[in-house]
Amino acid sequence: MTEPSAPASGADATSAAAPGITSPSGTGAGSPRKSALSRRGFVTASAMAAASAAFLGAGAGRARAATYNGTTYTVPGEWAPHAGCLMAFPWDAGDNWGDKLPAVQNEVADVARAVAQFEPVTMVANTGTADFVRQQVGPTVTVIEYPINDCWPRDNGPIFGVDRSGRKLLGLDFGFNGWGNKFPHDKDDNLPTGVCDYLGVPRLPVDMIFEGGALLQDGQGTIIGTEECLLNPNRNPDLTKAQIEAKLLDAYQATKMIWLPYGMYGDTVTNGHVDLVAAYAGPAHLLINLPSDTGDPNYARLSENKRVLQAGTDAQGRRFTLTEMNQLPTFTVGTDEVITFSYTNYYPTATGVVVPTTDIPASDTAALATLQSLFPAKRIVGVSARTLAWGGGGVHCITQQIPRTG
């Protein structure tokens, strides 16, 4: 997700629906079901269709659900039991990774093996790369093939809900436009189709551009996002704040939205995803980034986020317990300075928590101790994520929990 020097626009990016997949027509910059084909020419339409058919098989013609409104379900908090974890493997050096591709592949593989210690992991490999990916991730990770651009299913994969009975899954399918048309997304926008078909769950389209890392949810009526990201006109330019809130409340079946003003300073990739500045540690309990250095460019921004949370309550009327993460390290990858690394970008499981680390001992040790204090009964596993941070994300960004049912 590293910021490219010149995002595709105008004559450099055309719009087309993926063949073989039913897509409602849409127009305008915010049209969620149109997939912009990259100027890099990742795949031809015929190759995309063939790869999709090979993965989807008989399910390829399954019609979209007519609506997601009126369906009774909950998007659970991340601490709810998981059936497994969805991931995707980076494969294309041309998708901004360049000579850093082997390093990020190693990090993604390390995260997958770490999560697989606690729950099943399903790794999506781009068509034709499954054998290579299996070699990288090892036997504890299940590898499937489907056309993808990159490795961020938190943002472009389905967001899973559970019906009232607790027995059935569904996958919310938001439109994805490459974090504001910054990056290739012609294949990633269709990832929910392949994943939901693979899992045999209904896919419910949501008529807006959105990334899962832009929202926190507790499964008890509360959702939290940042104005900086959700109101950026590069996502839904024709929607007002009130309309965006209403759509998200409806999609998540929530009753209260809390708007934080800011994401992390310098986050030009996601434009302020909330999972880089905060994370739920449990009901009404948040881990928030707040540097101890008052001169840090994040200090004033994240202090304002803290003020909003201290002044508010969640959907159940509870005041928030706030734990501060004071470590916000910066470092270099090659010659590039990374200023958006975040320890709040972790992935929780029932018995463990996988946390991004920097290989800076003093910072990592302090941060992991904070996480251990939040989850005293769980094993805290740190995984180096320096290249992922260079790319704009971390452990949470490359994982998506699949809730347990039954």
Mind telling me the catalytic residues?
Answer: 397
Instruction: Please state, as a whole number, how many other Cβ atoms lie within 10 Å of the Cβ of residue 77.
Output: 18
d(C-alpha 27, C-alpha 198), whole Å? 30
Q: Which residues contact 301 (CB under 8 A, 6 or more apart)?
A: 261, 262, 264, 265
Tokens of 97: 């990774």
Q: Identify the H or E element spanning 288.
A: strand 285-289
What φ, ψ does residue 133 adopt, rounded to 5°? -65, -40
Tokens of 134: 């299996």
Dihedral of CA atoms 332, 334, 337, 339 in degrees, nearest 10, equals -60
User: In 100-250, at which residue ranges do the beta strands (DSSP E only) sit?
Assistant: 121-125, 142-145, 159-163, 169-175, 203-209, 216-217, 222-226
- DSSP strand pairing (82-88 vs 256-260): unpaired
State the burial class of residue 184 (Cβ atoms within 10 Å of its Cβ: 0-12, 13-18, 19+).
Answer: buried
